[in-house]
Structure 1
Amino acid sequence: MTDLIPPPEHLLEEAVTRALREDLGLAGDITSTATIPATQTSEARIVVREPGVVAGLPLAQAAVRALDTQVAFAAQVADGDPVETGTELALITGNTRTLLSAERVALNFLGRLSGIATLTAQYVAAVSGTQARITCTRKTTPGLRALEKYAVRAGGGVNHRFGLFDGVLIKDNHVAASGGVGPAVERARAAAGHMVRIEVEVDTLAQLDEALALGVDAILLDNMSLDDLREAVARTGGRALLEASGGVSLETVGAIAATGVDLISAGALTHSARCLDVALDFASGG
């Protein structure tokens, strides 16, 4: 995926530093220190043990380079690439202790993000031939949201807002607490800057009509039936982006996409993705 932009360096460094600190603690890798000579070098390969879509190679590299900048890390594929069982993802050469100490952190990031990318790619494939795009939610691992949203992009999905700060999404509880869709939208429009888009969550066609009359940018159709989704598309006529959400799974996403909605958001992309099976295999030692 040539247009995939990797996460900023400071995010990689922050995530890797936190993970290494957690794993190495105050004493470091006491097993490797005790069993491996300090000057020994090795060559190792990161391989994938099941088919999937790769994401997280920059983090794997950052993990080993954080412990030793002299380690050579040569990626053999790119994030966003589909791979088959046995594919070599990277060749790593350097101090043996370093490779062993960074191994689990590197593989944890790579397996987690590749799992998200793989699941996202399955959702994207399920809506092929429709106009619907697959998007993620804020249901992410605390502290890893930007990285997990990057993995969604690696799998061919698109990102929803990154947090409460970069987009107005008036949900059902906002509507209830504000006294209705109208008052909530009016207050949001008065407070938000001109660059901030406004989306409203609705669960009935009557609320949809109200939101359309207010001229919002996007409307989230929450847990609507397929018939209601089709009717919502017809009533909207392109006046706002329509996002379907709620009850979305690999089994249902194709039918939802066929209704003509623009976006389908699925929390499962990040909260239920299984880690891809990746491993570090030592090829030689010296």
Structure 2
Amino acid sequence: MVGRFSRTTTWWPRTDASIATESPDSPAPITRTLAILTRNHPPHQSLRANSLLEVLIGLATPMGERAMLPHDRGHLLWTAEDGASRMLISSMDRWTTAIVGDDGIDGPVMGFGEKVTAQVTSRADGTIAGASAVDYMLQIWAPSLSTSWKAGDGRRVSEGDVIVEISGDSESVLRMERSILNLLGQLSGIATNAAHWATIAPRQVAATRKTVWGMLDKWAVHLGGGLTHRLNKDDATMIKENDLAVTGESGMQAIVQLLSTIDVNDCGAFLELEVTNEKDAIVAASTWKQRQEGDSLPPLVLMLDNFGPERSKAMVGELTDMGLRDAVVLEASGNIVFDDLEAWRECGVDVLSTSAINRGTTPLDVSMLIDQ
């Protein structure tokens, strides 16, 4: 059977707040305390931050209170109360090891230069992401350095704002400079872009599994106000064309067979089916509706692949007329670009998904200068 995983976490509405807001005028200095989780350190619950997150979500969204969707998995990576989860810290460990390794660092930097203080400044407006990852990287690879964050994860910055002050020996500062700027700039660029999408989009927007830095990308999207979608392949079950192709059935027969027999307890957080035409969408929704009549099951996530706004709107209407709309969460995907967001305003789907929210984004322009 396609997509069978040993998972117990399913999609039910959460009551906890995974993102908190903070006034742009709040006191700036932030001191961060880290709880490290690596192969050489005992496990801890999370990477903690002393600040609340300043993430403004969907200010221009005409949806009223944002509906809870199964695509909202960011709380498994980060919360304002606890900071980074074990899952995210493990991802930080893998990616920061690769980043410093590619820069020729194969062991902790132990510099002996004079003590200096460097300021990392933003050269553009944006949303910060990656502060916790930078701190993690420095504690492992440059333990002599300390940081004082003026704008932590999720905080908005303006051009010219100081993001962080880094203190320590000059040799370590210079050795880690590029890795710090690359990590902070890349993730902040994603968060900034996600905030732009989340503010303008007429529907909630989710990332996809098309990423550059895996869960770090997802984390940055979350900090910017977007939805993570599934965090990895095992987090939820998505059935696509290739999955149906290997079942031995074809077309609608494969959809009916799979949706009628799949064990939802093995699907992870949610079950999603990709469809490319209206007939398959109706068959899928009808099959799932029949299962719901006998079992207490959450909606099936139905991805309308490359339908476009007009076909999606028509599909919503048809499912509604047939009494099937409440059986599915409708996700539109494929060729969704920022400039076309207005066209999706009246389409009636629940969420848009696109890799444009995190891939090909412009990194936030950040620079480091050592105080004279």
TM-score by length of 2: 0.67
Aligned-pair CA distance for 1:246: 0.8
1:225 correspondence with 2:308:
yes
Q: 1:112 and 2:192 equivalent?
A: no
Match of 2:175 among 92, 95, 101: 101
Equivalent residue, structure 1, for 2:233: 164
CA–CA distance in structure 2, aligned partners of residues 172 and 11 of structure 1? 29
CA-CA distance at 1:26 after TM superposition: 6.0
Q: Secondary structure at the match of 1:24?
A: coil
- Structure 1 CA distance for aligned equivalents of residues 304 and 205 of structure 2: 14
Match of 1:268 in 2: 356
Deviation at residue 249 of structure 1 after TM alignment: 0.6
| Corresponding residue for residue 275 of structure 2 | 202
Gaps of 5+ in 1: none
Cα deviation, residue 185, structure 1: 5.4
What is the match of residue 75 of structure 1?
Answer: 149
Mean CA deviation greater in 61-70 or 237-246: 61-70
Residue-pair matches, total: 273
Alignment-derived partner of residue 186 in structure 1: 257
Larger deviation: 114-123 or 179-188?
179-188
Within the candidate set 96, 100, 124, 1:16 is matched to 96
The residue that corresponds to 1:251 in the other structure is 339
| Equivalent position SS for 1:219 | strand
1: CA distance between counterparts of 2:206 and 2:351?
7
Asked if the contact 1:59/1:106 (under 8 Å) is kept, the reply is no
Residue 114 of structure 1 aligns to a residue whose secondary structure is helix
Amino acid at match of 2:133: L
**What secondary structure, in the 3-state scheme, does the structure 2 residue paired with 1:260 have?**
coil
Letter in structure 2 aligned against 1:16? T
Which structure has greater helix proportion?
Answer: 1
Q: Hey, what's the Cα distance between the residues in 2 that align with 1:124 and 1:258?
A: 17
**CA distance in 2 between partners of 1:85 and 1:204 (Å):** 46
Equivalents in 2 of 1:19, 1:104: separation in Å?
10
**Partner residue in 2 for 1:121:** 195
Contact 1:49 1:279 in 2 (8 A): yes
Correspondence for 1:214: 287
1:50 partner SS: coil
Match for 1:91: what amino acid? Answer: E
Q: Please, which of 207, 210, 213 is the counterpart of residue 139 of structure 1?
A: 210
AA aligned opposite 1:211: A
Unaligned runs of 5+ in 2: 1-20, 22-52, 54-78, 289-298
Does the CA contact (< 8 Å) of 2:305 and 2:332 recur in 1?
yes
CA gap of 1:53–1:207, structure 2 versus 1, over 3 A, is: same
